[in-house]
Amino acid sequence: MTDILIVDDDKELSCLLQEYLKSVNYSSEVVNSGEEALTVLSKTMPLMVLLDIMLPIVDGYEVCRKIRADEKTRLLPVVFMTALDVPRLIEKCYKAGGNDVVMKPLDHTDLLGKIKKYIPANN
């Protein structure tokens, strides 16, 4: 089972994030679009989702709303990732159903704290 589904269209960042998660003992899968994320979630259940806001075609807000609308995934922790430190956008993350927000560039200490908040320590 995958611990964390990374949804980000920045392939370089996704690769670096996946390597970091591996170094702190979390397995992850990377997808580069909202559509791919929803397809993966229809087949498997990670322990949490790291979700970029700015995705092509289906943005992160819509992906999160669809996660919340599905009985199977409605309780899945979703942490948005954004480079835009704008209160209105951050508020929109929570309104879409996000559990938390991390800012890009990602601070590993902050990110790890958010992951541990949503994934039980015994994992």
Domains of the chain listed by start with CATH number: 4-117 (3.40.50.2300)
Backbone angles phi, psi at 22, to 5 degrees: -60, -40
Q: Report residues of the chain scoring pLDDT below 50.
A: none
pTM for this entry: 0.95
The pLDDT assigned to 1 comes to 78
The pLDDT assigned to 122 comes to 52
